[in-house]
Structure 1
Amino acid sequence: MNGDFARVTFDSAARFSRVLLQQGRILLEADFNEQSAIHHHFLRSLIVDLIGRHWRAGDSFTLAVDPQGTADFSISAGHFYLDGILCENDSACSYATQPWPYFPDAEHEPPTAGGLAYLECWERHVSALQYPGLREVALGGIDTASRAQIVWQVRVASQPWVDAHLALVLGALQLRLAIAKPEDRPPIQLVIDHVTNTQTAFTNALANFPGAAGDCATAGDLLDALDAARPLMRARAVHDATEDDPCSLSADAAFRSRENQLYRIEVHDSGLADGHATIKWSRENASVVFAIRGAPKLDVESNSISVSLESLGHDHRTGLCEGQWVELTGDAFEFTPVAPPLGQVSKIDRTRQTIVIQLQQKTTVDFAHCTLLKRWDQHDGVNAAGVLQVEEHNSPIWLPLERGVEVQFRVGGYYRTGDYWLVPARVASRDVGWPQTAGGPAAIPPHGVQRHRAALAYFKRDAADGWEFGRCGCSMLPLCP
């Protein structure tokens, strides 16, 4: 969630049951948001404990041959519960016309042979820039609360796709194993063996379609294996014990700022820490976003883009300056694993509310799909594309962001575009809010995006017989028809 939040406080391990307001106290947005998170955690856990992680209501989300006779397949209407999250398909659709479609991308075309169709859902942040109906006209259309939205997609996993992704997962796990202490190696090796066995079982299931009774369990293991090597990050800011004056900031103080911040460290390019994975960061949780007016205009000769914006922000904190890195984004990038194009602001016309963005690399992106401009704040150490290369260390080597805030990525992670960590930094403590262990700051997986997956069906497709499906998953019928 990249809203304008001070911090995100929900922690399921704390076992809080509700938020209790007290008289005469200030109400923070974090308290309200935590109450909502507690409620959703309870409700979704109850659904999973009573019925299971993945199940459909009746014949919902059943795949079949497209009645229109196209090369596509149909998806029936109804409800599917994925880890307790309700996915709603209001009307029957096809793979190509589902409510949250893929944008043109060769990786996501319906495969020509066989594979696994699965459902993936997640929560995304929606602001008034994307959904103008959130603004209250009676208040002058000011920006108030934003929303969390459940989105889902039916996706397909072919054998080459699975092999490519699991190769990255296994590569990351092998790196962990190589640097682990002898006593820490057995559990890592167990994970490697499980992923390898799952990959072999999936290959056999596709070869033996329609397969055996246990093939659906194999499909579930396969989808879980995609997250077997989530990256781990630590964050810190060390106090200067000699600085006691609250009206001044020592040059030795770790967090040297006069404003509280919520840093967001987000993966830009997917891959391993071998020169492929990159990150970007924002001191405002990437909440400084601008609506694009009309289609951006690309100047091929100078490789620059002219963009008209609805607003240039209200102040320095929410505005733009020349030299800053920005990305052109929108649903086209949120619904595909493609990193949005980054560029550097080279010119600002505040009268016409237009800016010129200098791209550092040639791109084939269709800028007509770009509806939002998002500001990022990385500056020192960026490469030619404006991002930071991921470097992993288990030694005392840290990556400085700014104002004393530092992060460290532990060895053996598979980084995916859009994954992020949140680091609240506070002036009063001159520190960051980060979980601690006996050895210092804890290494934790990304705070998001939490993606949930469930197998829908194995399928086979050939020119003679068309589509053939082997459905996976449980179905629940109402107690009272």
Structure 2
Amino acid sequence: MSHDITRDSHLLNEGKNYAKVRRLQGRIFTDADFNEQVDLADRRVRDLIVDVVGYHAGAILPGGVAVGFKITEKLSQNKINDLTIGVGTYYVDGIRVTNDANPQSLPTYSSQWPNVPSKPFPVIDKFLLAYLDVQNVPVTPLDDSDLLDVGFEGRDSCNREKWDWVVRVARLNSNPGELSSINDLKQDTLANPAEIPYGETLGQLTFSYSTRDSDHCVSPAMDAFSGISDQLYRVEVHEKGILAEALSEKAAPRLKWSRDNAAPAFAIKPNGWSKEADAATWRVALESLDALGGSRSLEALHWVEPVLPDWYHRDVCFPLLWVESIDPENLEAIVALGPDRPKISEKTPIGDPLIDAYNALKALEGIQPIGKAKPRLILWDHLAGDFRGLKLSGKDGDTNDPGIQLEHGLQAQLKLGAKSSPRCYRVGDYWQHVVRTAEVRVPSSFRDPDGPEHLFAPLAVFSDTALVKDWRRKINSIGAPV
């Protein structure tokens, strides 16, 4: 999910040390100006908290109330087989997060695909790191219907954002000693860098313009956008992958892109997902064919993505689905795993991604809202690719930075890494690109993902039998009596 915005000017102006936004008389006032002022104020408060308490810490409150997020082991036959998370609060990069439930079992081992049996607790070769992952999450009326104003005929005006958290684990080769933040981890301490989303060098992407657009029509021989309307393009990682010193198609990430910042979304009705008799298509009942978050309508011959209300806790996406047809009278869509309706047969090899895709979609049968948050379809604008997303250009062994074509001469390139430090492209990482009609542009430089923003803090390290070190930083509350 994302916001229907014109651009993120705070992101564009990052590093310029702006303090305020000043509105000028007689000028138009855009959403970007308002949002940038909010972001500037938010960053100032967060910086103050970091200066006072450090990058991560928990306060010991008056009365001896314990610091939150204490990780406690559960043993079976003298071996750790589960962990619990203690109640309380904790600060990470100036953000206060709270576990206000009873001590809960670590959710890391719930299945990534809801219908696949839960993964077993990982084998602890030497040490296990439990760490806090705090993520900035957009909130739309599909997440909270209270954002709709009946005074505006049930329309939305502004979205919200919140910080949500999950505790994850990674296996370590050795106890890496003291950490000021989780980002101090080095690759040689990780038993499997893929277990930790920032254990490898972050992926980078750049946007540029070619003289030939995606439908092979020659555009003017200059670096300019040839579209007829302004857009906020978004390129996002659909399937994680790594890029080393040369392209490996098997290990490379898969992408998807939107010309509206992936904002157009369509709410799925309760029990609105059913499999058709041909066993290769699904019928989706929607609340509306007009998108919430933009002025788009659902159209046939487009890719959409099913998204559950708790999408931000998941490390994988559901497969992309091809919209075959629309029933406007009944507000229904017929979708498949591609224009050619791929199906599982006795010839489908074990481990084929098609099997995982079919298994994943089984979980959507009987789909229901979670509280006020509704399942939805997200509209994407690429037409090529398959249910796994877009492949990168190039072949195995190529040493040129691979990429994808978008449209109207716009293209995106991903940066290769090195053999010793491949670049990691994580599910959900995205890059935005603002284009204005006929604006001559110079290619941008490679940059880290624009989002989503993740904040990390180490909590504890365990051996296979006991706690080795509690890594939470504890400080006395400023308001504690002397």
| Other-structure match for 1:426 | 436
Change beyond 3 A, Cα 1:122–1:343: same
Q: Write the deviation string for residues 253-293 of structure 1: whole angstroms up to 9, x where unpaired.
A: 74222211000000011112422411000001001111100
Q: 1:19 to 1:313 in 2, by over 3 A?
A: same
One-letter code aligned to 1:268? H
Mapped partners of 1:45, 1:15: distance in 2? 13
Query: Compared with structure 1, are the counterparts of its residues 34 and 358 closer, same or farther at alpha carbon in structure 2 (3 Å cutoff)?
Result: same
Rounded Cα–Cα distance in structure 2 between residues aligned with 1:335 and 1:397: 29
What is the CA-CA distance between 1:454 and the residue it aligns to?
0.9
Alignment partner of 2:48: what SS?
Answer: helix
- For 1:477, the equivalent position in structure 2 comes to 476
1:345 corresponds to 2:323: yes
Out of 31, 44, 47, the residue aligned to residue 29 of structure 1 is: 31
After TM superposition, the structure 1 stretch with the greater mean CA deviation from structure 2, 251-260 or 420-429, is: 251-260
Report the CA distance shift for 1:446/1:329 in structure 2 as closer, same or farther (over 3 A): same
Kindly indicate whether residue 206 of structure 2 is the aligned counterpart of residue 234 of structure 1.
yes
Contact 1:95/1:154, CA 8 A, preserved across alignment: no
Say whether 1:449 aligns with 2:452: yes
Deviation string for 1:204-260 (max 9, x for gaps)? 329xxxxxxx355696622898254111211123799xxxxxxxx976574222211
Give me the identity figure in percent: 28
Secondary structure of the corresponding residue to residue 6 of structure 2? coil
Counterpart among 30, 41, 44 of residue 43 in structure 2:
41
8 Å CA contact retained: 1:305, 1:356: yes
Q: Which residue of 2 aligns with 1:75?
A: 85
The residue number in structure 1 matching 2:8 is: 8
Q: What CA distance in whole angstroms lies between the structure 2 residues aligned with 1:326 and 1:423?
A: 21
Partner residue of 1:146?
Answer: 159
What is the rounded CA distance, in whole Å, between the counterparts of 1:76 and 1:334 in structure 2? 21
Q: Tell me the residue number matched to 1:269.
A: 239
Residue 364 (structure 1) aligned to one of 359, 368, 371: 359
Give CA-to-partner distance per residue, 1:119-143, whole Å, 9 cap, x none.
Answer: 1101011110111011112222102
The AA in structure 2 aligned to 1:205 is N
Name the counterpart of 2:97: 87
Alpha-carbon distance in structure 2 between the residues aligned to 1:223 and 1:336: 25
- Name 1:246's counterpart in structure 2: none
Question: What secondary structure is seen at the aligned counterpart in 2 of 1:429?
Answer: coil
Aligned to 2:312: 334
Aligned to 2:63: none
Q: Unmatched 5+ residue regions in structure 2?
A: 61-66, 188-192, 213-217, 339-353, 369-374, 418-422
Aligned residues of 1:223 and 1:454 also touching (Cα < 8 A) = no
Counterpart CA distance in 1 for 2:50 and 2:117 is: 35
Q: Hey, what does 2:68 align to over in structure 1?
A: 60
Q: Are 1:402 and 2:407 counterparts?
A: yes
Shift of the 48–217 alpha-carbon distance from structure 1 to 2, 3 Å rule, reads closer
Are 1:233 and 1:410, in contact at CA under 8 Å, matched by a contact in 2?
Answer: yes
Q: Which amino acid aligns with 2:16?
A: A
Q: Work out whether residues 304 and 378 of structure 2, in 8 Å CA contact, stay in contact via their aligned partners in 1.
A: yes
Letter in 2 for 1:126: V
The alignment status of 1:298 with 2:311, answered yes or no, reads: no
Structure 1 residues 383 and 300 mapped into 2: Cα distance closer, same or farther (>3 Å)?
farther
Aligned to 1:257: 227
Residue matched to 1:278:
254
Q: Separation in 1 of the partners of 2:403 and 2:121? A: 43
More divergent stretch after superposition (44-53 vs 389-398): 389-398
Residues of 1 paired with 2:168 and 2:29: CA distance?
42
Structure 2-normalised TM-score? Answer: 0.76
Identify the residue that residue 344 of structure 2 maps to in structure 1.
none
Range 316-325 or range 36-45, more displaced:
316-325
C-alpha distance in structure 2 between counterparts of 1:233 and 1:403, whole Å = 19
2:307 pairs with 1:310: no
- Corresponding residue for residue 190 of structure 2: none
Aligned AA for 1:328?
A: P
Change (3 A) 1:391 1:217: farther
Separation (CA, whole Å) in 1 of partners of 2:186 and 2:106? 22
1:40 is paired with a residue whose SS is: helix
Aligned-partner Cα distance in 2 for 1:218–1:109:
28
Alpha-carbon distance in structure 2 between the residues aligned to 1:426 and 1:228:
35
Moved more, 271-280 or 302-311: 271-280
Q: CA RMSD in A?
A: 3.4
**2-side partners of 1:232 and 1:220: how far apart?**
17
Question: Which residue number in structure 2 is paired with residue 188 of structure 1?
Answer: none
The aligned residue for residue 174 of structure 2 is 204
The separation in 2 between residues aligned to 1:416 and 1:396, in whole angstroms, is 18
Contact (CA 8 Å) 2:431, 2:450: kept in 1 or not? yes
Q: State the shift of 1:111 in Å.
A: 3.9
What is the rounded CA distance, in whole Å, between the counterparts of 1:32 and 1:394 in structure 2?
A: 43
Residue correspondences, number: 408
Q: Which residue of structure 2 aligns with residue 120 of structure 1? A: 133
Which deviations, in whole Å up to 9, do the C-alpha atoms of 1:371-426 show, x marking residues without a partner?
A: 110110112xx333362113478759763210111121221221111000001110
| Structure 1 spans left out of the alignment, 5+ residues | 160-201, 207-213, 241-248
Task: Using the TM superposition, give the Cα deviation of residue 333 of structure 1 relative to its aligned residue in structure 2, in angstroms.
Answer: 3.8
Q: 1:44 to 1:107 in 2, by over 3 A?
A: farther
- What residue is the counterpart of 1:191 in the other structure? none
Determine the C-alpha separation between the residues in 2 that align with 1:75 and 1:427.
51
| Cα pair 1:333 1:340 within 8 Å, conserved | no
Task: Answer whether contact 2:264 2:291 (CA < 8 A) is retained.
Answer: no
SS at structure 1 position matched to 2:43? helix
1:129 matched to 2:116? The reply is no
Counterpart Cα distance in 2 of 1:80 and 1:300: 51
Q: Secondary structure at the match of 1:38?
A: helix
Alignment of 1:174-185 (within 5 A): none
1:459 match: 462
Structure 2 Cα separation of the partners of residues 49 and 227 of structure 1:
26
